[in-house]
């Protein structure tokens, strides 16, 4: 139980294009989903928290117009990196929570912007 999927697992795009990453909870309803960014050999940096049907809460320093988050249902959240640039290249990981405390992580998406 508590499986979270992410798609795509890997994406390469040209600078200036937008990329959408999907995060799904497969066997539970996620009241809250989280988006993290992880640099090589670094910790997980929380970007934003999203609750189904409401606007995401962004962490300080994260541009909400750059990283668009939609949490349209209890099993799906999407992160769109708009007008991507090479500095946006990173490993993006989502997590989902069905209740307090426990977070289940997706497998991550490796984004490379050329």
Partner 1 sequence: GENVEQHPSTLSVQEGDSAVIKCTYSDSASNYFPWYKQELGKRPQLIIDIRSNVGEKKDQRIAVTLNKTAKHFSLHITETQPEDSAVYFCAATISGYSTLTFGKGTMLLVSP
Interactions with partner 1, residue window 64-103 (CB under 8 A): 93, 97, 100-103
Dihedral angle computed from the Cα positions of residues 13, 16, 17 and 21, in that order, rounded to the nearest 10 degrees: 80
Do 27 and 3 contact (CB within 8 A), yes or no?
A: yes
Q: Tell me the closest approach of the beta carbon of residue 45 to partner 1, in angstroms.
A: 8
Q: Which of 98, 95, 109 is nearest to 35 (CA)?
A: 95
In the complex with partner 1, which residue's Cβ is closer, 14 or 101? 101
The residue range among 61-69, 71-79, 82-90, 104-112 that interacts with partner 1, by the rule CB under 8 A, is 104-112
Do 18 and 84 contact (CB within 8 A), yes or no?
A: yes
Q: Tell me the closest approach of the beta carbon of residue 109 to partner 1, in angstroms.
A: 11
Q: Tell me the closest approach of the beta carbon of residue 83 to partner 1, in angstroms.
A: 27
């Amino acid at each position: 139980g508590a499986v979270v999927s992410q798609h795509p697992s890997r994406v390469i795009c040209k600078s200036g294009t937008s990329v959408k990453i999907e995060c799904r909870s497969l066997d539970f309803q996620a009241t809250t989903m989280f988006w993290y960014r992880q640099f090589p050999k670094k910790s997980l940096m929380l970007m934003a928290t999203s609750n189904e049907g409401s606007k995401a809460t962004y962490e300080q320093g994260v541009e909400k117009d750059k990283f668009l988050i939609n949490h349209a249902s209890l099993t799906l959240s999407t992160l769109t990196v708009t007008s991507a640039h090479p500095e946006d290249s990173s490993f993006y990981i989502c997590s989902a929570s069905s209740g307090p405390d426990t977070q289940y992580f997706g497998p991550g998406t490796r984004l490379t912007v050329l």
